[in-house]
Amino acid sequence: MKRDIIIAGVGGQGVLSISTIIAASALKEGLHVKQAEVHGMAQRGGAVVSDLRLSDSPIHSSTIPRGCADVILSMEPLESLRYLEYLSPEGLVVASESPVINISDYPELESVLAAIKNLPRSVLVDADGLARKAGSPRASNMVMVGAVSGSLPLRQDTLESFITEAFAGKGEKMVQTNIDAFRAGRALSN
């Protein structure tokens, strides 16, 4: 059993927090984990990606080879398309439908969403809307964790315990908001 997950987004969207919560949950459940991150220059509003590899046997490379990713999880629609060459032919794309338009040549949003819908297996998520309903637009990354969770070999309570841990420092309300966001996303994945 292995799950190769590419987590994509734009600097500042919380890609690393997603990666960290899934990685911690996988370790807790006894899996091998390798997680590659992007630090430094690229974090300034540029394209950001984290490769997360989970397996029940040892993992060698921290990056995912071409055509091997089981899932691309993207905080942004255009960014979900950037790493398609890494997606396996049976792979799944789970993408937020809210664009971050900070470049002048961003394509027509409709054509970006259409390209995602045209993929063999894809899910578009109204992450911003669901996060707002849960209490904070900033919780959209937890909506995305929820939305992908059905495709991960991880238990809901494990993931929720690490979400709780990640936001504990910000108060109970913040924890509840993020848990609600996660559950709203998870409802889509079931």
Provide the binding-site residues for other proteins, judged by CB under 8 A.
Answer: 1, 10-11, 23-24, 27-47, 51, 56, 59-63, 65-68, 78-79, 81-82, 84-87, 89, 91, 102-107, 111-112, 114-115, 118-119, 153, 155, 169
Closest contact distance (angstroms) between CB of 120 and other proteins is 8
**Residue (17 or 35) nearer to other proteins, CB:** 35
Which C-beta is closer to other proteins: that of 49 or that of 144?
49
**Non-local CB neighbours of 92 within 8 Å, separated by 6+ positions:** 70, 71, 72, 121, 122, 123, 151
Q: Of the two residues 20 and 129, which places its CB atom closer to other proteins in the complex?
A: 20
Instruction: Using the structure block, give the residue that is written with the tokens 């590419």.
Output: 6
Nearer to other proteins, 47 or 129 (CB): 47
| Residue nearer to other proteins on the CB measure, 16 or 144 | 16
Distance CA 122, CA 71 (A): 9
Q: Where are the beta strands (DSSP E) in the chain?
A: 2-10, 32-36, 47-55, 69-74, 87-96, 122-125
Closest CA to 143 of 98, 84, 82: 98
For the bound state, the minimum distance from the C-beta of residue 91 to other proteins, rounded and expressed in Å, comes to: 7
Rounded to a whole number of angstroms, the minimum distance from the CB of residue 173 to other proteins is 16
Which residues lie below 8 Å from residue 22, measured CB to CB, with a gap of 6+?
5, 7, 52, 54, 145, 152, 154, 159
Q: What are phi and psi of 39, to 5 degrees?
A: -120, 170
Task: Please report how close the Cβ of residue 42 comes to other proteins at its closest, in angstroms.
Answer: 5
Closest separation in Å from C-beta 119 to other proteins = 7
- Least separation in angstroms between residue 106's CB and other proteins is 7
**Residue 82 or 132: which CB sits closer to other proteins?**
82
Which strand (E) or helix (H) includes residue 24? helix 15-28
Tokens (6 digits) for 123: 């899910």
